[in-house]
Amino acid sequence: MIEFHLDGRSGVPAYLQLVQQVRQAVRLGILRPGDQLPTVKEVVTRLTINPNTVLHAYRQLDLEGLVEGRRGVGTFVSAHPVPPPPGDLKGLRSSLDRWVGRARAAGLDDEGIAALVAEAVRPAAVSRVA
């Protein structure tokens, strides 16, 4: 089971935060195919948010094929939600660590590193939204 949390200051809409947390949990294997997501009521009373926010998030995840809602039963992680994490996740991580080391050595602080990463990632993000 996944436990949602909300960051009120992030500027990311609440529904999108829920969507991202499910995507992330699936990617990291915290949520597996067949796992049930919390019911709308559970999320609403845990986070004190509007039910429509949760419904919106679950609908979006359903559209993405990541979960499927079964009427009167609940919402479940789909059988084949996303391509499995690449085998070389570890390799990517360690090369990123090396890159971060180089960036720090070059005098970049955390904010500078984050800005550079965001810039490198941005084209992909834009095409996903469009």
Angle at 13 between CA 115 and CA 40, to 5 degrees: 135
- Residue whose CB is less far from another protein, 52 or 94: 52
Report the b/e string of 19-32 with b at 16+ CB within 10 A. bebbbebbeeeebe
| Contacting positions for another protein (CB under 8 A) | 6, 8, 11, 13-15, 40-41, 44-45, 47-53, 56
**CB 59, min distance to another protein, A:** 11
CA 59 to CA 74: how far, in whole Å? Answer: 12
**CB 17, min distance to another protein, A:** 11
Within 68-109, residue ranges assigned H as helices are: 89-105
- Residue whose CB is less far from another protein, 28 or 118: 118
- Residue whose CB is less far from another protein, 26 or 53: 53
**CB 11, min distance to another protein, A:** 6
**CB 106, min distance to another protein, A:** 28
Closest by CA position to 25, among listed 56, 73, 61? 61
Closest by CA position to 98, among listed 124, 90, 28, 27? 90
- Residue whose CB is less far from another protein, 79 or 129: 129
